[in-house]
Amino acid sequence: MSRYTSITDSDRRAMLETIGAGSLEEVFADIPAEVRLDRDLELPPGMSELEVTEHLSALATRNRSADEEVTFVGAGMYDHYVPALVDSITQRSEFLTPYTPYQPEISQGGLQVMFEFQTAVSELTGLPVANASLYEGPSSVASAGYLAKLENGRGKLVASRGLHPHSRETLSTYARGFGSRVEETPLDERGATDLEALAAAIDDDTSAVFLQQPNFLGTVEEIGPLVEAAKRTGALCVCAVDPLTLGILKPPGEYGVDVAVGEGQTLGNRLDFGGPSFGFYAAAERYLRKMPGRIAGETVDVDGKRGFVLTLQTREQHIRREKATHNICTSQALNALAGMVYLAWLGRRGIVELGELMARRTDYAREALGLEAINPGPVVREFAVRVPDLDRLMESAREDGVNPGYRLGQDYPEYPDGLLVAITERRTRADIDRLARHAAAVRDEVPA
Amino acid sequence: MSQSKVIGFAPGGEDTVTIYERSQPGRRAFVAPPIDVPEAPLEELIPQSERRAEAPALPEVSEPEIVRHFNNLSKNNFDLDTGFYPLGSCTMKHNPKVNERVAAFPGHARLHPAQEARYAQGALELMSRLGRALAEVAGLPHVSLQPSAGSHGELAGLLLTRAYHDDRGEPRTKVLTPDTAHGTNPATVRMAGYEVVKVGTAPDGGVDLDDLRRKADGETACLMLTNPNTLGLFDRNISEIARIVHDAGATLYYDGANLNAVMGISRPGDMGFDIVHFNLHKTFSQPHGGGGPGAGPIAVSDRIEPFLPRPQVVEVDPGNGTAPVYDLDLVRPKSIGRLRGFAGNFGVFVRSYAYICSLGGDGLREASDAAVLNANYLKARLAEPGIGEHLPIAFDRPCMHEFVLSGQGARRNLGVKTLDIAKRLLDHRVHPPTVYFPLLVDEAMLIEPTETEPKERLDGFVEAVRAVLEEAAEDPEVARGAPYTTPVRRLDEAGAARRPVVRQPPAGAEPPGDPGDARQVTSGSL
């Protein structure tokens, strides 16, 4: 039952009369009989709003949300607090229900948000230009690979195994299309990118080199030498970053990367079982006319009044078609708005304070767990440990309502007993101590 | 001047001020939770070489002023909940409010994507149910929900095509796209490493079959097609097109941007398509969000299934008479791999699944019927004297859910272009149609009313168009100078591209923080 329509029987009669058709069937005459569906769709009948709500609620209760356990799971998306302000603004119809601002005169709100968002991404990353969002993190990484292909045409992409496994896999998926191959380089015994192995993999055919700071294990990489090695043969250096750590970690623009990308979920977006969130993409000035995604620019109207428009659209598919530098159209504007509102809420000092809090609690948690560190070096929001009996820890902690973290073995066979533990401002010292008690139980049972 | 006859849309009321320009050192909205662990000096935790020297210049604004800032910005947007939005090819149908509510349930919104499958059974079941419903609408058996938008679905489709041909040991180099195709099609072709070959359009608005026969050969990997096409016309030769493409050994790809016309009426799988993408933000009521989020799931035939992206939701029958168990299958040896992180835009899946539950199979069919009825009614009304001679229909056939007018008549008879008409419509508080697309039609206006508009709104749009044209007959300058009542008037787009200002200029010398605030000193000393 299509309750969102409002055509009455008398409307239908009048409309068909205006059309000059005896029935709607006549209007569909162009659809040949052999491709007509000669039965009803085999789907359940429509439901009342009450029934829909109850059905969806029943499904939702079969999930264990981050409200129902103390979760130390991160691995690219994190249980951060989202202020009420964000929902209140993103649920406004004026932001929720328009489309891409093709008519700038009636879209100044959305366009100005894009401009402010681009500014925030540029500030965080220390790179001069940023777009208005891409889909999410890993596909943004892959899009940077495509930029490198357009830029230098070389055939090899070198990725540290410190790059998120989903980013590495997505990069490989895309690269098979545009004709590059991906070579992965290992982490060293301290869970950091192995500089020598990285340098050895880079040659004259290397199109781009991919790093992540902090890396997937949470290690704060000694990034300078890695970037230097990356750029030795003229390859592009792409670094994935977690924006919420950029209050305390050096911005990628300062260590000379060509492109910084990342997952925006940590900025005011829900966990949502993985999406929608947003990806961001910032670059050195020389890539401004090649980078993907919408870009808002400042201009003036005929009266000289300040305003904003979508600009540099000759990069884009709707203008340049096969000559476009990317195929993206619909992106993640509403999620980027949430990110912008969140960053305004956090503010200049807040992002530093939050970063400091995470770094201190992360340091405390690693000590408190007392397990062998896979990455004993600096960490700021996540760290990896070896757990003597990981299954038992998972089981005992989960019975107590604690989710200890992400099993590394599913992506890193080299760490079969690895556990990746993430800390946010929601994980208090008491939460950490609770996890530590479970860790102590498995630690003490296994002889050293 | 006649511009005073129309009611303007209320401007935001404030001058254009960015959030950065509202910033004052010392203001804040965020209060950090207490530090409950030892306050280790940061330099002991992170080496100097990796630390940030100076805090990023994010705005410093109080919560009440942040609220006002964004509320005022919102008032400078025109939106679907406010008025008619016949933006062709975008399916601006109503976004049901209940969908927002169910998407916000903590079991959905607060579910971590790395949660183990046994603790995410509700989410996986929802994805499985949505996939089955989409498969039924498409008439194709297998679905991947993973792509994040239509263009991402297109990329998936061509990567699947590549994997399929590679697997058969017959790699190919070209992809055919009609000259009426969405811009995303040819752009995707290039990203997927193929060469674009354009196929012409016949006088009736369908694919030129002779041109297709000439161009479909052993190097052809795929034909990407929209049906109904971007002219709003159903291609009557679709079975023959499918035969030509399949005889050449190529795949047939369905750009689902226009699926809203044919739900329950005709299915892409039955037309012979191998791969279909859906735009959940068009056909399945996900709010457009000012440019996303959307989602672009794909449905495929048996021969393409082995190559679908990882992970796939699978239903496992425990075999003991109990309910099925859901899991994410990560193995899939022939898969093209991931297209993104985790399992897709789940929050969008929740909304679209709720929409499908609300409407049911019969409701989806009714939605398509109503979309087509509305489009044909609006087309007939816009053909009336006073309008039709200035904006003739490009292809005079029954349309599906949208149709194309040409502004050629208005340009010739009245001296106003499609752009001028669109800009003047802004003063009438309606969103203009998609303009200058498809490229095939001179001064094109692509109009898609959708099924959720009542007859009176369509009539209102007709009267607005009529008023604009009558006014132009008297004085074309009015339309040429429009709009007048919007928050800003026509903007200098060329200047914006020539001298790009794409961020707030960094402050030359950043003002120091309030020295009285100890926390600020800590932060500033990094």
pLDDT of B258 higher than 90: yes
Tell me, which fold does domain A85-341 have in CATH?
Aspartate Aminotransferase; domain 2 (3.40.640)
Q: How far is A119 from chain B (nearest CA, A)?
A: 5
Among B110, B130, B418, pick the best mutation site for testing chain A contact (most A Cβ within 10 A).
B110
Q: Which residue of A has its CA nearest to B287?
A: A97
Contact check, Cβ <8 Å, A302/B490: yes
Largest separation between any pair of C-alpha atoms in chain B: 80
Q: How far is A445 from chain B (nearest CA, A)?
A: 26
Q: Are B246 and B212 in contact (CB under 8 A)?
A: no
Please write the tens of the pLDDT for every residue from A50-98. 999 999 999 999 999 999 999 999 999 999 999 999 999 999 999 999 9
The C-alpha angle B152, B157, B161, rounded to 5 degrees, equals 145
Pairing outcome for strands A306-310 and A296-300: antiparallel
Nearest CB to A425 within list B33, B53, B100: B33
Contact check, Cβ <8 Å, A249/B51: yes
H or E stretch covering A146: helix A137-152
Among B16, B50, B445, pick the best mutation site for testing chain A contact (most A Cβ within 10 A).
B50
Question: For the CA atoms of B295, B300, B306, B310, what is the dihedral angle to 10 degrees?
Answer: 10
Please write the tens of the pLDDT for every residue from B341-369. 999 999 999 999 999 999 999 999 999 99
Burial class of residue B270 in the structure, from the number of CB atoms within 10 Å of its CB (0-12 exposed, 13-18 middle, 19+ buried): middle
Contact check, Cβ <8 Å, B363/A119: no
The C-alpha angle A302, A306, A311, rounded to 5 degrees, equals 85
Nearest CB to B55 within list A6, A60, A352: A352
H or E stretch covering A358: helix A333-369
Considering chain A, tell me which residue range(s) the CATH 3.90.1150.10 domain(s) occupy.
70-79+348-445
Among B21, B72, B73, pick the best mutation site for testing chain A contact (most A Cβ within 10 A).
B73
Among A3, A5, A25, A174, pick the best mutation site for testing chain B contact (most B Cβ within 10 A).
A5
H or E stretch covering B435: strand B434-435
Q: How far is B465 from chain A (nearest CA, A)?
A: 17
H or E stretch covering A117: helix A108-125
Helix, strand, coil distribution of chain B in percent, nearest 5: 40, 10, 50
Q: Are A75 and A407 in contact (CB under 8 A)?
A: no
Q: List the pLDDT tens digit at each of the 448 positions of chain A.
A: 567 999 999 999 999 999 999 999 999 999 999 999 999 999 999 999 999 999 999 999 999 999 999 999 999 999 999 999 999 999 999 999 999 999 999 999 999 999 999 999 999 999 999 999 999 999 999 999 999 999 999 999 999 999 999 999 999 999 999 999 999 999 999 999 999 999 999 999 999 999 999 999 999 999 999 999 999 999 999 999 999 999 999 999 999 999 999 999 999 999 999 999 999 999 999 999 999 999 999 999 999 999 999 999 989 888 889 989 999 999 999 999 999 999 999 999 999 999 999 999 999 999 999 999 999 999 999 999 999 999 999 999 999 999 999 999 999 999 999 999 999 999 999 999 999 999 999 987 655 4
| Cβ under 8 Å to A: B residues 378-407 | 379-381, 397-398, 400
Contact check, Cβ <8 Å, A56/B105: yes
* Residue numbers in A near B184 (CB within 8 A): 317-318, 327, 329
Separation of first and last alpha carbons in chain B: 61
- For every residue of B38-49, DSSP letters joined together read ----HHHHS-GG
Nearest CB to A28 within list B61, B238, B265: B265
Contact check, Cβ <8 Å, A352/B347: no
Tell whether B221 lies on the interface with A, counting CB pairs under 8 A: no
DSSP-derived 3-state class of residue A32? coil
User: In CATH, what is the architecture of A70-79+348-445?
Assistant: Alpha-Beta Complex (3.90)
Tell whether B331 lies on the interface with A, counting CB pairs under 8 A: no
Q: Which two tokens stand for residue B93?
A: 């149908």
**Closest listed residue to residue A328, CA positions, set B191, B174, B222:** B191
Contact check, Cβ <8 Å, B398/A316: no
The number of angstroms, rounded, from the C-alpha of B185 to the middle of its chain's C-alpha atoms is: 14
Tell whether B281 lies on the interface with A, counting CB pairs under 8 A: yes
Q: Rounded distance, CA A2 to CA B202, Å?
A: 36
How does DSSP classify residue B302?
T
Bridge partner residues of B298 (DSSP):
B144, B277
Q: Which residues of B155-176 are buried (b: 16+ CB within 10 A; e: fewer)?
A: bbbbbbbbbbbeeeeeebebbb
Q: Rounded distance, CA A215 to CA A162, Å?
A: 5
How many other C-beta atoms lie within 10 A of the C-beta of residue B466? 17
Per the rule left: phi > 0, alpha: psi between -120 and 50, beta: everything else, B366 is alpha
Considering chain A, tell me which residue range(s) the CATH 3.40.640.10 domain(s) occupy.
85-341
* Residue numbers in B near A212 (CB within 8 A): none
- For every residue of B382-427, DSSP letters joined together read TTSTTTTTTS-BSS-S--SS-EEEETHHHHHHHS--HHHHHHHHHH
Contact check, Cβ <8 Å, A49/B94: no
Which structural domains are found in chain B, ordered by start?
Answer: 99-356 (3.40.640.10), 362-498 (3.90.1150.10)
